[in-house]
Amino acid sequence: MHRICTAVGPKLPHETSTFSDRAVRGITCRPKAAVAAALWLVLLGATPRVCMAQSGEPIKPIPLEPQLDLRKVALGDRLFHDKRLSKDNSLSCASCHDLSKGGVDGLPSSIGIGGAKGPINAPTVFNSSLNFRQFWDGRAASLEEQVAGPVHNPKEMGSNWTEVLGKLAQDGPLVGEFKATYRDGLQTRNIQDAIAVFERSLTTPNSRIDKYLKGDQKALSPDELLGYQLFKAYGCVACQGVNIGGNMFQTFGVMGDYFEKRGNTTVADLGRYNVTKSEADKHVFKVPSLRNVALTAPYFHDGSAKTLNDAVDVMFKYQLGRPASAQDKKLIVKFLHTLTGEYKGRPLQRADSDAARQP
């Protein structure tokens, strides 16, 4: 069933309603909502749900603490950083999803075993539990299913569960930890479960926008608040909910052919088509979350946008199909910096902090 999305907020100067009604994956967007179905995509999509936060805003704060089995969290943490999951013992999950770098590796595309260059940009692992599907093409329905992907991918870890189990079984303390945590001990499904539970612990509440939504009127500066109002007025409010993205698929290039302009189309550029083989799914991707977006450069599935400013420019051109002043874009970028949350009670930062600097 299609949902109806509408752009909320004041009409912008010289705004016209020239966009034809169009169906956007999972939602039906009317003229101004076509705008909505786009700029969100400050990373690649738009979101359909209308979930009002306590303050009456369309974005909801992240709950403070997920209720999880702490033994599984600890075991999953250990496995997430264990290089024995890769064939040559050179890579762990954290190699491409570095928690000290915003949950990414900072590369346009990740490097696998033997220096193999992967085909796509690594999405952040932070708040991944709030996504409705996993991977850019949405091929995994759960975090548990997602865990198996990199282990078996020849350009990532290049291994298999038989090899992984064989290596881990030689680690007495680890085997004991599995027995203490799971009734049937060291098993493939328990490795997947433990890592998935750990990943569910990687939420980042208490961003400044969350504090504002909870009633702290001083959490945002005047410029950031104006950026938030522009974010809504331009139609970005279509991306809402707890994760500010991550809950629908969207075509990259709603208002223009991004791939024709960029050139050198790859298999990864086909997006969801690689899963469904449906022509309608070509260049369709899962909308990524905007949470902590200031820390996760470069942007898009191809890592082509080096900065948030670059990403916003692309989104106005190919998703909104409309102009915006340099000042408006600057204010929106300032607002996006307020989406950085906390991990383990401390503000999330990126070790190579150049990517996280305020413009």
156 is catalytic: yes
Contact criterion met (CB below 8 Å) for 38 and 319:
yes
Q: Residues 80, 146: contact at Cβ < 8 Å?
A: no
Instruction: Give CA torsion, residues 99, 101, 105, 107, to 10 deg.
Output: 170
Count the neighbouring beta carbons within 10 Å of the beta carbon of residue 166: 11
Alpha-carbon span 306 to 200, nearest angstrom: 28
Give the number of other Cβ atoms within 10 Å of residue 16's Cβ. 10
Angle at which helices 161-168 and 143-152 pack, to 10 degrees? 90
- Taking a C-beta distance cutoff of 8 angstroms, is the pair 173, 181 a contact? no
From the list 156, 177, 199, 224, the catalytic residue is: 156
Please give the DSSP secondary-structure letter assigned to residue 320: I
CA 23 to chain centroid, in Å, comes to: 23
Q: Which two tokens stand for residue 110?
A: 């990740």
Q: Report, in angstroms and rounded to the nearest whole number, the Rg of the chain calculated over CA atoms.
A: 20
User: Could you tell me the strand order of the sheet in which 27-29 lies?
Assistant: 3-5, 27-29, 22-24
The total of other beta-carbon atoms located within 10 Å of residue 261's CB is: 11
Residue 141, amino acid: A
Helices (H), the chain: 31-39, 70-80, 93-96, 143-152, 161-168, 172-181, 188-200, 208-213, 222-233, 258-262, 273-276, 308-315, 326-336
Q: Give kind and range of the element (H or E) at residue 5.
A: strand 3-5
Q: Which residues are catalytic?
A: 156
